[in-house]
A and B are shown apart, each in its own frame.
Chain A
Amino acid sequence: MSINFLILMNIISYFLSLKIFFFIFKMSYAFPFRRADLLSFIFNLILFSIISFKFYPEYFFIFLLINLNLFYIFFHLINMIVTSPRTKMLIDLKGLKNNEIDIRQYLKKYNCTVIVNNRIRRLKTSGQIIEKDNYFFLKKNKMNFLYFISLVFSFIEKI
């Protein structure tokens, strides 16, 4: 088994395992990650670590990095499809006849209210925010990942 073949197998296996884990776990979260993403990463990391240790022990860190990158890329790509307004607009337009729509008509269907409702539902499900007497606030009595995410955003903005 050549190393190039093994690397290729790792990428294909990651893709197929994502399909299987998404079929089983759908969009359920172990916040901030989806279970399907996390399990694909762990499964492939363990599988290819064992194989690389057996055949190419010196390549262990290469496989570790490949799987870390694949985890980040697929996590981000799927996030873009599910939550990004820009990607949603492109996907919506692609599904329309002539790929075009009147802006006002589109903004009636997809607007700030829809965006806020979707996010509040997701953040409530993952336990990041609490609703009390129609008011929403951040849950501060445990490590809040929203705070961590805001730090990541601030870091990316600076570089």
Chain B
Amino acid sequence: MFWLIIFLSLALNILYYLVSQKLKIKIFSRYFVGFILYSSLILSLLIYFKLDFIFVNFFSFFVIYLLFFISLFLSMSMKYIKSPTYLIFKILNKKSTKKQIIKKLEKQRILEIRINDLEKQNLLSIKNKKISLKENLGIIINLFFFMKKFLNIKSEG
């Protein structure tokens, strides 16, 4: 029975992830809202089909289902924008000086791409050559702030 709970929570999450990637959902808030709708539908189906083995262990199922969702959600950001470390790895397949690495990364406009992505994600706005933080996703930014302070770590970038 526990294998079924594990399998179901993983399979449902993978299914949602694959479908949203096929639909090219890149905006985090849309992915999140879609997940809530999808989960409501799944819950209705579980009630309709009376899958009692899940309701007996609902809390375990819910926790694993949620943790799988967060894991896949965090992997999503790696899909569309390549990490600078990955780009440096590609550059270093041929030996290079620091200047050459910087030049190649500048050519790839890594910072501009990220600023534009944050604007698309509706997390910041660009007006009159000024970037400003939007207040609509305060919870997520506060979570980063809390973690940073709680673990006493530095954001180096």
Interface residues of A (CB under 8 A from B): 3-4, 7, 11, 18-19, 22-23, 27, 58-59, 61-62, 65-66, 69-70, 72-73, 76-78, 80-94, 98-104, 106-107, 110-120, 123, 129, 134-138, 146-147, 149-150, 153, 156-157, 159
Contacts and interface: CB of A to CB of B under 8 A. Distances in A.
A135 B94 CA distance: 10
Interface of B: 2-3, 5-6, 17-18, 21, 57, 59-60, 63-64, 67-68, 70-71, 74-75, 77-79, 81-86, 88-90, 92-93, 95-98, 101-102, 105-106, 110-111, 114-115, 117-118, 123-124, 126, 129-133, 141, 144-145, 147-148, 150-157
Given A62-B6, A129-B92, A103 B115 contact: yes
Contact of B118 (A61, A90, A137, A149): A90
**Interface SS, B side:** helix
B120 to A, nearest CB: 11
A103 B86 contact: no
Contacts of B70: 69, 73
